[in-house]
A = this chain, B = another copy of it.
């Protein structure tokens, strides 16, 4: 049970967690915080939070659980802002898509990563953003990855784990670097490729017509290019090295495929497509 939950960044993720905890009677009071009083007022009206404060320090006062759900680029600033008023017993966690950068930000802001900070990442979301898109079921049957450090307090990890499990998620733990590599592969690379594809087609002379003939496969393929640009700028900068490594890795395969097309090597094409289809059908069922 959480007595007072403070959510900094009441968007799709923060809002959905608030709804899920509320639906399970797992939280007393929920205090919201973000830069926009208007958005926070909307969150109150939607019943997602009980009250709000646009000052992070005031918002965290008295909270026993603090969820930082802001874009990666704002993490360090938020950590600095909340530092003076954090309760000694408070547990802090975040939802950033790159954990190395969160650890760095905490290191800088707190002068060392606090033992009661549990870096976390729910593998959930849609291409929509904002509290209006939030819903209590977002985390059901989704994974949440926690990346505690060697000195992270075990009880803090347990409390964060319990919170996400209450929201319906399956919680796993892994190392910071390993998380960042896995996410670069499964999430960051596909987003970058989808953005690059749409941008590339939009540059074509006949772009209006081209989009007009896009069918269902294209819509699925490019859905993630509708994601929030600022959030994805932050992710690209925060997980820069793992992302660049995955792009380079992908380029090797795209080049091999391109060369097979150039060489009219049908056998090689079937080999590549079949291997990909097998991997997809096996791991990502419809």
Q: Which residues of B contact A257 (CB under 8 A)?
A: 192, 195-196, 199
Q: Are A275 and B199 in contact (CB under 8 A)?
A: yes
Copy number in this complex? 2
Separation of A247 and B183 alpha carbons in the complex (Å): 25
A219-B145 Cα distance, complex, nearest whole Å? 19
A130 at the interface (CB under 8 A from B): no
Cβ-defined contact, B218 with A221, below 8 A: no
Residues of B within 8 A of A187 (CB): 214-215, 217-218
Interface residues on A, range: 35 or more
What are the residues of chain B within 8 A of A203 when measuring CB–CB? Answer: 249, 253
- What residues of chain B lie closer than 8 Å to A73, measured between beta carbons? 266
Q: What residues of chain B lie closer than 8 Å to A189, measured between beta carbons?
A: 197, 200-201
Scan residues 173-201 of chain A and give those whose CB is less than 8 A from a CB of chain B. Answer: 181-183, 185-187, 189-201
| Interface flag for A154 (CB, 8 Å) | no
> Which residues of B lie under 8 Å from residue A193 when comparing CB positions?
193, 197, 221, 254
Judged by a CB distance under 8 angstroms, whether A277 is at the interface is: yes
Chain A 205-238 near chain B by CB (<8 Å), digits 1 or 0: 0111111111111111111111111101110110
A41-49, A76-84, A119-127: which one contacts chain B? Answer: A119-127
**Segment among A28-36, A88-96, A100-108, A278-286 that sits at the interface with chain B:** A278-286
A46 to B261, CA, bound (A): 37
Complex CA–CA separation, A252 to B201 (angstroms): 11
Q: Which residues of B contact A270 (CB under 8 A)?
A: 229-230, 233
Contact B264 A200 (CB under 8 A): no
Instruction: Indicate the member of A229, A247, A262 with the most B CB atoms within 10 Å.
Output: A229
Rounded to whole angstroms, the CA-CA distance of A195 and B193 in the bound complex is 12
Please state if B274 and A261 are interface contacts (CB–CB under 8 Å): no
Other-chain contact of A218, B208, B264, B281, B284 (Cβ < 8 Å): B284
**Candidates B195, B196, B250, B269; contact of A236 at CB < 8 Å:** B269
The 3 A-B pairs of least Cβ separation, nearest first, read A211-B283, A229-B273, A202-B279
